[in-house]
Amino acid sequence: MQNIFETMFDYLKTTYDTEPKPRPHIGEAMGCWLYFTALAEEVPIIEASLNTTTDDELMNLLNKSKKLGEHQKNLLQAFMVNEGIPLSQASESKPNSDPNSIPLGAKMTDEEIANFISAKIATNIVMCATNMSQSIRNDMGLMWARFQAEKMILGMEVKIAMRKRGWIKVPPYYYAPGAPSH
């Protein structure tokens, strides 16, 4: 069953993606290369994180993040190859290991892993918005909008879990001078 975002993007694609497709300009190509590189480096780090945690909820979020990262990377890779945009080198996948065999000083805590995922998702969302704003081609703009929406949905799940576990980092509250103090 398609979700509402897939339906919306399919509609937009059939409605607005009828124009001729010139070669990507340098900004569009650079945006593809940078996002591909970010995903190619993100997946092995998520795999390493999966090797260091025993928390079921965090492992579920890591698996969702890995699956989405691989999905977006594969779609972007096919697009880049089709458009003649070179791919960056990717780090190797990490083999599975026993989280209990890693010394405590050598592995990240669950809170550190959750904040890493959160920061990575936020960075990906900003990259997608930047790439969308630089896209002249409708098909590329829609691709970035779709990637951004997928990352935003995952980001909401991560934020809810982090808030529930007390892992979310909240900046100090701002109180304007002269504002009521309640």
Is residue 161 in a domain?
Answer: yes
Q: Which CA distances in Å does 15 have to 9, 10, 117, 130, 140?
A: 10, 9, 35, 23, 14
CATH assignment at residue 150: 1.20.1260.10
Residue 10 in domain: no
- Provide CB contacts within 8 A for 1, sequence distance 6+: none
53 located within any domain: yes
The pLDDT profile of the chain, 182 residues, written as one tens digit per residue, is 346 666 655 655 555 566 677 899 999 999 999 999 999 999 999 999 999 999 999 999 999 999 999 999 999 999 999 999 999 998 888 888 888 888 888 889 999 999 999 999 999 999 999 999 999 988 999 999 999 999 999 999 999 999 999 999 888 988 888 888 76
Distance CA 154, CA 138 (A): 24
Q: Which residue has the tokens 């081609």?
A: 137
**Both tokens assigned to 56:** 């079921």
Query: Model's pTM, two decimal places?
Result: 0.85
Q: How is residue 165 written in tokens?
A: 């576990």
On whether residue 81 sits in a domain, the answer given is yes
Number of domains in the chain: 1
**Of 123, 115, 122, nearest in space to 155 by CA:** 122
